[in-house]
Structure 1
Amino acid sequence: MKLTKLTAMASAMVLWAAAANAETYTYITYKPQGANDAHANSLQWLVDEFKKRTGGKHEIQMFWGGSVAAVGETPDALASGVGDMGDIVTPYFPDQFPLNNAIGFFIPQPLDSAGVAEAMVNWHATYPQFAEELAQDNLHAFSFRALENYGLLCKEPVDSLDDLKGKRIRSYGFAYPALIEAMGATPVSITTSDTYEALERSIVDCAPIGPALARGFKYDEVAKYYIEIPFGASFGHLLTINLDTYKGMDEETRATLDQLGKDYMVEYGRMLADDEKRVRDLWNGDLGVTVTPFPAEHLKPILEDPKVKAVREEWQAKAEAAGLPVDKIVSDLQF
C-alpha cells in the first residue's frame, strides 16, 4: 500500500514536471482564419504539425485577423514579446529590413515563388548579414513565404503599355512606384485591405497581384481583366520568432521548429499551386475573368528608366555598406 502511494506520488510529480516544461507559443497574423487560402491553411498546418512533432508537449496558439497587432505593427509586437511568432509582410518595411526585402527593390525579376524562397534560404545560409539585420530587432526568421507570380488585375482590358498610360495603379514598397511611373501610369499607395474598395470605386484602375491572392481578397469581384505582366514572384513574408523566445527553447524544440520551417515552405508551395489552379479554373468559368498574355520583352525598356534604376542602385548601396557581395546576389534577380 505504501509503495502504491509512493508510486502514485512519483507519477504525479512526473506529470507535473512535464506540464511545467510544456510551452504554448503565440502566433500573430493579419490573415483571417476563414480566408481558406494557402496563407491561412498553411499556418493551420504549421500549428498542427508543431503540436504533433513535439508529441503534444508544446503547441502554438493562433491569433488571427490582426487581433493582437495590425500588419504594420507586427515587427514591434514580436520584438517586444507581445507575440512569440508571427508574419512580417516584408515589402511594408523596406527601410527597417532592406536586406531581407531585396526582392522588393527588384521588380520585375525572373524568379517564381519557389525560386524566391530558395534564394532567401540560400542568402540566409550564406550571408550572416541577413539574420543580423533581423536580430537587431530581436527577431529570427525560421521560414519564408514567397508570394506567387504577380500580374496586373484591372477593371478594363490592357493589351500594351500604351493602354496603361494615365491609369491609376495600386502601389506599395519601393520598386512599384517607380515601375508604375515608368509605365506612364500613376502610383496610388493603398494597403492590401483597402484595395477592394479602391477598385470597386475606381479610385484605382489596376492592382499588381497574383491569382490566388486576388481571389482571397475578392478583388476579382470588381476587376475582371488579368494581364500576365511578368513581374515575377513577390517576397513576401518572413515567418518570424522573437529571438529571445527562440534562444530560450530547448535544443530539441528548436531543432523541431527549424525543420518545420523548411517543411513549411514545401507544404505552402503545394497549397499555393493548388490555389492558383483552382482560381484560374474559376476565372475561366463562373467568375468570368479574362486573362491576357503580355510579352516580357515589352518590359525590358522600362528597366532602363532612371527611377527604376535608382531604386535598384539604392538597395545595392545598402547591401555594399553591409559587406555583401552585391554582384553575386543581384545576378539572381536580373530580368
Structure 2
Amino acid sequence: MRTLISATIVATVLASAACADTFKWLTYKPQGAGDAQAITTQWFADQFAERTGGKHQIDIFWGGSVAKAREIPEALAAGVGDFGDVITPYFPDLLPLNNAVGFYIPQPMKTQGVGEAMATWHKDYPQFGQELAQQNLHAVGFRPLENYGLLCTKPVRSIDDMAGLRIRSYGFAYPALIEAMGATPVSISTSDSYEALQRSVIDCTPIGPALARGWKYDEVAKYYIEVPFGASFGHIIAMNLDSYNALDAETRAVVDQLGHDYLMEYSRMLDEDDARVRELWQGDLGVEVIDFPAGELEALVADDKVQAVRNEWIEKAKALDLPVDDIVAKLTF
C-alpha cells in the first residue's frame, strides 16, 4: 500500500511539473554580480514562482549567455526569451518616448520617483506602450539607475573648477550639459572608463556610488562630487508581447503586481548599496565626498544647447500626439 501511495505521489508531482510553465529571462548581468540589479532579478523570479504557487517559474540566462545587452530587445521580440532587461538608452531610435529622462539631465527626481513617473506615463499615455508594442515588447516593470554625481580624479568644488576638465559623456543630455559646464565631453563606454580614469584620458565620469563601486572606478578616482544630476533612467523590465498576452488573467495579475513591487524592492536595495559604499569610502577606500554649491548646475539648464536637447524630445513626443506639459513638469526644476 505504501509503495502504491508513494508511486501515486511521485506521478502527481511529475504531472504537476509537466504542466508548469517555465519562462526564460535574458539578462546581460553576471549571476555573481552581487549588485541590486542582479539580486532583484533573482528576487523577481523567486517571487513569480511563489506567487503562482509553483505553477510557473522563470529560468534566468545570466551574463549574456543567450543575448548580449544590445541584442536583448530583438531576441525578446523574436520569442527567444520571455522576460529581459532592455537598457533603454542604448535604443534611442527604437524608443524615443521611453528615453524621456535621458533628454532631461539634470532633473529633480530620485530613483523611485523616476520609476514611478515611468509607470504613470505608461498608465496614462498609451503612446509609451505602443512604442514598445511596435517591437513586440511590453513593459512589466522599470529599473531606474541611482542618483548620479561626478566621480573625479581631482577635487571639484564649483562650476569654475570644471573648466577644461574631460568628462565622460554619453546619451542625449550629457554632451550639451558638460559643454555648458565649461568642460569637454568625451565619449567612452562604461567598460573602458576604469582605464580612461586611470590613464587620465578623462578626469571625471557621471555615476552613482553603487555603480562606481561595482565597476571599481573608485580604485582610481578618489573624489565624488555631489553634483545634482538626479537619477538616470536605466532599464525596462520587458516581456515578449505575445508571451504577456498569452498569460491567463491570474498570472497576468501576478506579473503586473510584481512589476510594481519590483520597483520598491529594487529602490530599497539600491539605497542600502549607496549607504554601504559611502561607508567603505570613509574607510579603507578613501574617497572624499564633496558637496556642490546649490543652484550652480540648475542654472545651466537655460543654456541654448541644453534647451535644444530638451526641445528635441518635445518635438518627437508631439509628433506622436503625446501631450507633453505634465511630463515636462516632472522633469524640470
In structure 2, distance between residues paired with 1:111 and 1:278? 22
- Segments of structure 1 that go 5 or more residues without pairing to the other structure are none
Q: Which amino acid aligns with 1:97?
A: L
Q: What runs of 5+ residues in structure 2 fail to find an aligned partner?
A: none
Which runs of structure 1 show a deviation greater than 4 angstroms over 4 or more consecutive aligned residues?
7-17
- What do the CA deviations read for 1:252-283 (whole angstroms, capped 9, x no partner)? 22111111111111111110111101011111
Whether the aligned pair in 2 keeps the contact of 1:91 and 1:172 (CA below 8 Å) is no
Identify the range of structure 1 (180-189 vs 111-120) with the bigger mean alpha-carbon deviation.
180-189
- 1:241 matched to 2:205? The reply is no
Once the two structures are superposed, the pairs formed by residues 55-134 of structure 1 within 5 Å of their partners are 55-134=53-132
Deviation at 1:301, TM superposition (A): 2.9
2:278 maps to which residue?
Answer: 280
| Paired letter, 2:217 | Y
What percent identity do the matched residue pairs reach?
A: 65
Q: For 1:134 and 1:197, how far apart are their aligned partners in 2?
A: 36
Q: How does 1:252-263 map to 2 (within 5 A)?
A: 252-263=250-261
- 2:233 is paired with a residue of what secondary structure? strand
1:52 to 50, 53, 75: 50
Q: Does residue 1:199 correspond to 2:197, yes or no? A: yes
Change (3 A) 1:334 1:152: same
302, 316, 330: which one pairs with 1:318?
A: 316
Give the paired residue count: 332
Check whether the contact 2:136–2:242 (CA below 8 A) recurs between aligned residues.
yes
Instruction: Measure the CA separation in 1 of the matches of 2:96 and 2:185.
Output: 21
Equivalent residue number for residue 307 of structure 2: 309
TM-score by length of 1: 0.94
Report if aligned partners of 2:49, 2:56 keep a CA contact under 8 Å in 1.
yes
Q: TM-score, normalising length from structure 2? A: 0.94
Q: Deviations over 1:304-329 (max 9, x none)?
A: 21111110000001111111111111
Amino acid at match of 1:302: L
Q: Does 1:300 align with 2:298?
A: yes
Alpha-carbon distance in structure 1 between the residues aligned to 2:14 and 2:36: 38
Name the structure 2 match of 1:215.
Answer: 213
Cα RMSD for the two superposed structures: 2.0
Question: 2 CA distance for matches of 1:204 and 1:104?
Answer: 22
Counterpart of 2:245 in structure 1: which amino acid?
K
1:41 to 34, 39, 43: 39
Aligned residue type for 1:191: S
CA distance, structure 1, for counterparts of residue 86 and residue 217 of structure 2: 22
Deviation at 1:14, TM superposition (A): 6.1
Match of 2:160 among 159, 162, 184: 162
- Structure 2 residue corresponding to 1:142, chosen from 119, 140, 143: 140
